[in-house]
Amino acid sequence: MATIYCMNCGTELDSGARFCSVCGSPTLLGAGLAEADGKAQVSCPSCGTLNDSDTVRCVACGAPLRKAAKTTLDTLPATHYPRYEEPAAGTEEARSHTLVIGAVAGALLMLALVGGLFVTGVLGGRHSEPKVTSPAVEQGEPTEVEDVATEELTPAGTEIRDSLEAYSWEELAIIGKEMSRCSSRDAALDIAKDYNLVDSAGNMTLATKDATLAGIGVAKMRLVDVYHDDLANGEGKAGLTFMATNIPIWHRMNATDDITGGWESCEMRAWLNSELFMTLDEDLRASIVPVGKLTNNVGHTTEASSVTTTIDMLWLPSMVELSGPSDWVWPSDPDNSNGYNSVVAAEGSQYALFQMQNVQQLVSNGALTLSGDDGVVAWWGRSASCSGTSRYRGVSEQGDPAEIWDATTELGVCFGFCL
């Protein structure tokens, strides 16, 4: 038999119920569905918030939602829930209806009273201790209650685990959602500490979590920063930013040695956000949030205004995200060095992990030395070489974050994503 829910107290009821067996309210909503502006909605099983039926996660708490039927109350079949029509006033049917409601309400009240007597031990000869909810439990803090099994929870509602690897991607996405609601990076970092995603001082660690790429291999993802990347919807920061720390696959930036259109127009970007994205496990794909990435999307330029935003699920890091802003004298065109440096600096800001590891421009750093199946490899970034016309920048085998290669060169793919 189908299940419906009381619109007043949320109790699960049989589909034929006309009144809630707990609070006595009429049952007008079925299976968590409601109608708002003619559109089906589904209630969150975690917090009860109503969401549009095509929403994957609750807009309030980030919990996964049950799939709602794409229908509204007006189009539901009669067997789904009984439509109630008020009888005309003064008729025999109205008087009978009033008596029935009163009788049902009275019976429910009597059942509640008798049930309460059994629970408290007045009837039945048994007595159970009352359940006490302390302020610590209300706030998600651990509490000690004798003979009661409790989980250590924080406001995001996810059990605290010992390490990054111990969480599921779905759990990490819920934590990331909670961090996104913060008003500052410091507040988000406190949540990361609570969940053991950073150390007690708030520093990024070298812990990794596996992301399976179907038919390719496993990418070991590490947390490179929190509350850093801008959400694509303009509503703040993504809570968690991850990047691969090994090279499971290789790809070229473009089919030709041409950087016109930069990252926005390159083959690599299209491939990452389509083919490679679809190799990820479904739970991870559902957890990744789109973010806005700042990049030189012109190519050869000295104008910082050439840096614009693209919306990406998977992306490569820019040069400044790896090693901070540059202050070079560009040997190929020294007179325009200031312009080139301004373009590089506009492509974002350095991630906390690489800042902690003292990664700098034009200096090789072992922290950026990554390995594939056959040993240490060079890998691509997304920054076009703004002083030329055919090359993109990447990281050498020795960890130099400012190397350049022709766009048709196949290098390692060190992709990133946000939760």
Over residues 295-301, the mean pLDDT reads 96
Quote the pLDDT of residue 241.
Answer: 98
Confidence at 123, pLDDT banded by 50, 70, 90? very low
The residue assigned the tokens 């007595």 is: 127
Q: Which 8-state DSSP code applies to residue 314?
A: S
Asked if residue 173 belongs to a domain, the reply is: no
Asked if residue 276 belongs to a domain, the reply is: yes
Quote the pLDDT of residue 326.
Answer: 87
* Distance from C-alpha of 194 to C-alpha of 142, rounded to nearest angstrom: 12
Quote the pLDDT of residue 275.
Answer: 97
Over residues 207-218, the mean pLDDT reads 97
Q: E strands along 39-138, which residues?
A: 39-43, 50-52
Asked if residue 352 belongs to a domain, the reply is: yes
Residues paired with residue 241 on neighbouring β-strands, in sequence order: 225, 418
Quote the pLDDT of residue 44.
Answer: 63
The residue from 54, 69, 84 where one domain ends is 84
Asked if residue 225 belongs to a domain, the reply is: no
The pTM for the full model equals 0.65
pLDDT exceeds cutoff 70 at 149: no
Quote the pLDDT of residue 157.
Answer: 73
Confidence at 118, pLDDT banded by 50, 70, 90? very low
pLDDT digits (tens, 9 = 90+) for 153-183: 455 678 999 999 999 999 999 999 999 999 9
Over residues 328-351, the mean pLDDT reads 94
pLDDT digits (tens, 9 = 90+) for 219-260: 999 999 999 999 999 999 999 999 999 999 999 999 999 999
pLDDT digits (tens, 9 = 90+) for 50-89: 666 666 666 666 666 544 333 232 333 333 323 334 445 5
Asked if residue 380 belongs to a domain, the reply is: yes
Asked if residue 126 belongs to a domain, the reply is: no
Quote the pLDDT of residue 158.
Answer: 84
* Distance from C-alpha of 329 to C-alpha of 322, rounded to nearest angstrom: 19
Share of the chain above pLDDT 90, in %: 59
pLDDT exceeds cutoff 50 at 121: no
Quote the pLDDT of residue 131.
Answer: 32
When comparing pLDDT for 52 and 139, which is higher? Answer: 52
CB 414 within 8 Å of CB 316 = yes
Per-residue tokens: 133:
């909810």
pLDDT exceeds cutoff 60 at 152: no
Over residues 24-49, the mean pLDDT reads 50
The residue from 32, 67, 84 where one domain ends is 84
Over residues 194-200, the mean pLDDT reads 97
Per the structure, the complete domain to which residue 304 belongs is given by 250-418
Asked if residue 106 belongs to a domain, the reply is: no
Per-residue tokens: 412:
């390692």
Quote the pLDDT of residue 35.
Answer: 39
When comparing pLDDT for 108 and 340, which is higher? Answer: 340
65-to-55, 68, 276, 329 alpha-carbon distances in Å: 7, 8, 26, 54
pLDDT-wise least confident of 67-76, 270-279, 299-308, 337-346: 67-76
Cα Rg for the chain, rounded, in angstroms? 29
Quote the pLDDT of residue 9.
Answer: 62
- What is the full DSSP assignment across 190-245? HHHHHTTSS-TTS-----EEEEEETTTEEEEEEEEEES-SEETTSSSB-SEEEEES
Q: What's the total number of domains in the chain? A: 2
The residue from 64, 84, 104 where one domain ends is 84
Quote the pLDDT of residue 68.
Answer: 36
Q: Please give the torsion angle defined by the CA atoms of residues 369, 375, 380 and 385, in that order, rounded to the nearest 10 degrees.
A: 70
Q: What is the mean pLDDT of the chain?
A: 78
The region that residue 101 occupies, defined by phi over 0 for left and psi between -120 and 50 for alpha, beta otherwise, is: alpha
Residues paired with residue 52 on neighbouring β-strands, in sequence order: 41
Question: Which range scores top for mean pLDDT: 6-15, 90-99, 161-170?
Answer: 161-170
Over residues 337-363, the mean pLDDT reads 96
Share of the chain above pLDDT 70, in %: 63
Quote the pLDDT of residue 65.
Answer: 56
Per-residue tokens: 169:
């991607």
Asked if residue 295 belongs to a domain, the reply is: yes
103 C-beta neighbours (distance < 10 Å), count:
10
Q: Which 8-state DSSP code applies to residue 14?
A: E
Classify strands 240-244 and 416-418 as parallel, antiparallel or unpaired. antiparallel
